[in-house]
Amino acid sequence: MALKLIAKQLEKLYQEIPEECGFSAGPLEDDMLHWEASILGPEDSPYHGGRFWLRIDFTADYPFRPPKIIFLTKVFHPNVEPDGKICIDFLQDEWKPSYTIGYLLMAICSLLLHPHPDNPANQEAANTYLSDPEKFKQTAEEWTKLHAV
């Protein structure tokens, strides 16, 4: 079931997501359970101008369990661990089988625009975001220029 659904979602992916969002995604070497994706840093964010690469690993029981999604590109963000793991409710406790790959990519892009410092994976980034927003923006922009361009 997982492979069939993933193939169907891949087919519809570019219909779901507006072209201007700058997403790309697809399986690695025809392995439908392991994908690579990229998203552009959203305008009005310190990530603007960067392209961020992600690894998406689906389980055999997808969509009943969420895929594991990690940033391959280093990113200074409250909800992204130093190893790239994304810590956000919709990829864990609040997962719903109705979520599509397109939805997940748009949600991750939205997370870049609107961090959730109350549920941090990177304490340093969260503390900086809350205590010194200008320093957070500067650091995130520097990391974007260094790692995502």
Tens-digit pLDDT profile for residues 81-92: 999 999 988 888
CATH number of the domain to which 55 belongs? 3.10.110.10
Mean pLDDT for 124-143 is 98
**pLDDT of 53 higher than 70:** yes
Active site residue 87: yes
Mean pLDDT for 103-129 is 94
Choice among 2, 5, 87, 107 that is catalytic: 87
Mean pLDDT for 40-64 is 95
Q: Looking at the 3D structure of the chain, how many domains does it have?
A: 1
**pLDDT of 62 higher than 70:** yes
The DSSP secondary-structure symbol of 60 reads: T
What mean pLDDT, rounded, does the chain reach?
92
Report pLDDT for 149.
86
Percent of the residues in the chain that have a pLDDT greater than 90, as a whole number: 74
| Angle between helix 123-131 and 133-147 (nearest 10) | 130
Q: Residue 16 sits in which domain range?
A: 2-147
The DSSP secondary-structure symbol of 67 reads: P
Output the CA–CA distances (angstroms, integers) from residue 73 to 54, 76, 83, 88, 95, in the order listed. 7, 10, 10, 18, 24
